[in-house]
């Protein structure tokens, strides 16, 4: 799932533990927002950019690929939220970031800056910053598709005689 890849990307770039990068806001209590965590979620639905289909005649497998663009929100919480959001923006251009993108076949574009959500929503009791990232990624599916080498055909004429032959 792409949200897991984005969470793993964030963990890798920031050097955080897996428990500090959460997907969505399910099962999170108010106390969790006091810790230094990052919450990853969709900002808008993915859009299909291009699709292709390939057939491997040797292996008799058919592959379907769709390239998607999607925006994701990364929300930084905790007493180090301001420092962490700035670190993420800087580290998104690091070699660690590039390596992760190459291995996982996704492209993370330069973050567009951040918003101070604490100020926007008027809450004073915990730090909260949001950064938006645009990601391009590929979803693939490979299935077995067997070729038909020859087809047996039966032909019956008006007199009731039948002929059988193979069409190759």
Q: How many domains does the chain have?
A: 1
Confidence class for position 162, pLDDT limits 50, 70, 90: confident
Q: Does the pLDDT of residue 3 top 90, yes or no?
A: yes
pLDDT at position 126, please? 72
Which among 70, 67, 72 has a CA at the least distance from the CA of 46? 70
> CA-CA distance, 124 to 119, in Å (whole number)?
8
pLDDT at position 146, please? 78
Q: How does pLDDT run across 14-23, given as a tens digit for each residue?
A: 999 998 998 9
Q: How does pLDDT run across 45-100, given as a tens digit for each residue?
A: 999 999 999 999 888 899 999 999 999 999 999 889 999 999 999 999 999 999 99
| 152 contact partners, CB below 8 Å, separation of at least 6 | 164, 165, 166
Q: Does the pLDDT of residue 118 top 80, yes or no?
A: no
pLDDT at position 155, please? 84
Burial class from Cβ neighbours inside 10 Å (0-12, 13-18, 19+) for residue 128 reads buried
Task: Please state the rounded mean pLDDT for residues 96-121.
Answer: 88
**100, 12 Cβ separation under 8 angstroms:** yes
pLDDT at position 122, please? 64
Structural domain containing residue 147: 2-167
pLDDT at position 84, please? 96
Percent of the chain with pLDDT over 70: 92
Q: Does the pLDDT of residue 165 top 90, yes or no?
A: no
Mean pLDDT for all residues in the chain:
88
Q: Does the pLDDT of residue 147 top 80, yes or no?
A: no
Q: Does the pLDDT of residue 7 top 90, yes or no?
A: yes
> CA-CA distance, 134 to 76, in Å (whole number)?
17
């Amino acid at each position: 799932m792409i949200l897991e890849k984005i969470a793993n990307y964030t963990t890798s770039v920031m050097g955080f533990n897996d428990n500090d990068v959460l997907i969505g806001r399910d099962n999170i209590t108010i106390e969790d927002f006091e810790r230094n965590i990052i919450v990853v979620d969709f900002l808008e639905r993915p859009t299909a950019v291009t699709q292709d289909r390939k057939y491997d005649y040797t292996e008799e497998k058919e592959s379907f690929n769709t390239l998607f663009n999607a925006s994701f929100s990364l929300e930084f919480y905790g007493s180090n939220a301001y420092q962490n959001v700035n670190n993420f923006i800087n580290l998104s251009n690091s070699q660690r970031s590039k390596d992760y993108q190459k291995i996982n076949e996704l492209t993370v574009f330069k973050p567009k800056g951040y918003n101070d959500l604490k100020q926007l929503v008027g809450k004073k009791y915990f730090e909260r910053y949001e950064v938006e990232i645009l990601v391009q990624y590929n979803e693939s599916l490979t299935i077995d598709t067997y070729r038909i080498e020859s087809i047996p055909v039966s032909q019956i004429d008006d007199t009731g005689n039948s002929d059988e032959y193979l069409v190759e």
